[in-house]
Amino acid sequence: MRKRVLVTAMSFRRSKEALALLEDNGCEVIVSPYNRALQEAEMLDLIKGVSAIVAGNDALTEKVIAAGMPVLEIIARSGAGYNTIDITAARRFGVPVTNTPGANTRSVADLTVGLMISLARNITRLNQSLHAGNWEKSVGGELGEKTLGVVGTGNIGGEVIKRAVAFDMKIVAFDIYPRRDLVEKYGVIYLPLKEVIAQADFLSLHVPVIPETINLINKATLPLMKPTAYLINTARGELVVEEDLGNALKQGVIAGAALDVFNKEPLQDSSLNNLPTAILTPHIGASTREASDRVGIMAAEEVIRVLSGAAPRYPVN
């Protein structure tokens, strides 16, 4: 009997090569009927009898993992973040959780820089205005000689820095593990977090969700930013208190913000809706053909390894 693999990750579904890899290795692939991340009740309906899950940002709670036992052998996260998975429960049940480090790095870094340019040149607002029949111009700014503050200099943060240097930006950064290679190659200056926030003309977030980073940007930290500064978040929605950011934008505390991630997705009622100084995109950081293929193949290979009795290559628990 072929082992059943539940695929809920949207990025994985876009990769024909990754789907074929599972099927060619004897797996029965079951694709989620939902075009979004699944809630706990929905996962409970689908998980029984499943040997592996290729997951996106789905609610893989203790209850869900328990319902998958004793058949469930692996949860393969199609992406880097795994904050929606109960890692402690998975460990207790002996289910390895894996991710795909570095697979979507370029795509997220590209989007980050694209959002920076759009903020600096008012591209989104002017596009909407022109489509509405207006010939409106505005004076924007250049990226060159501006200061980019990077919070988190892992894979994605490092790629953003590499791109920003090509625009002649000065880079200041915060990370609990400073990278000597970024200092030597790109002249990155590591500073305490508050100093990075205060110096940045563009502040870009690239840290995981851990107790120390939840609500990192809030009504206390936003006033530390320059009134001409922009915030970019392509990491995790939990890093920003959206209501505080909305109030800061309305009051002119900062000049603008661009967010690809939110506390609750899909985004519905939010203090950020309809603000002309806010650019909002629907969590598309990894939504490129190239990233989908890389992420999908890495996740599929992890599933195949574990279902064949081998140890995973990229365990997070």
Concerning whether 159 is annotated as a catalytic residue, the answer is: no
Portion of the chain with pLDDT greater than 70, in percent: 100
pLDDT class for 268, splitting at 50, 70, 90? confident
Domains defined along the chain, listed by start: 3-103+288-307 (3.40.50.720), 105-280 (3.40.50.720)
Concerning whether 13 is annotated as a catalytic residue, the answer is: no
User: pLDDT tens digits for 63-107?
Assistant: 999 999 999 999 999 988 898 999 999 999 999 999 999 999 999
Give me the pLDDT at residue 1, please: 64
Give the active site residue among 212, 265, 289, 290.
265
Give the active site residue among 163, 206, 283, 294.
283
Concerning whether 206 is annotated as a catalytic residue, the answer is: no
- Joined together, the tokens standing for residue 112 give 């980050």
Give the active site residue among 106, 163, 206, 236.
236
User: pLDDT tens digits for 172-209?
Assistant: 999 999 999 999 999 999 999 999 999 999 999 999 99
